[in-house]
């Protein structure tokens, strides 16, 4: 029985770690994609619309 609890805990930790890794990889990939687009366009930053204030701002990473 203790082995089952141990392997279940290891499985949960592995799954949570995997999800965090995938989330971070997606964030880094999106940042690199934005940087490539900005370099191709020759822009200094990409503006995003803020619906609360109605203004365009440079996104925070």
Q: Give me 14's structure tokens.
A: 């592995």
Q: Give me 1's structure tokens.
A: 């029985």
Match 């805990």 to its residue by tokens: 9
pLDDT in tens, the chain (61 residues): 889 999 999 999 999 999 999 999 999 999 999 889 888 888 877 788 999 999 998 877 6
Element (H, E) at 48: strand 48-50
Match 């490539």 to its residue by tokens: 36
Instruction: Please compute, for residue 36, the number of CA atoms within 13 A of its CA located in the half-sphere on the CB side.
Output: 6
45, 58 Cβ separation under 8 angstroms: yes
């Amino acid at each position: 029985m203790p082995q089952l609890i141990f392997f279940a805990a290891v499985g949960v930790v592995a799954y949570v770690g995997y999800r965090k890794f995938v989330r971070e990889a997606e964030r880094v990939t999106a940042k690199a994609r934005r940087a490539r687009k900005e370099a191709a366009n020759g822009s200094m930053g990409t503006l995003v619309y803020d619906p609360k204030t109605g203004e365009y701002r440079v996104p925070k990473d």
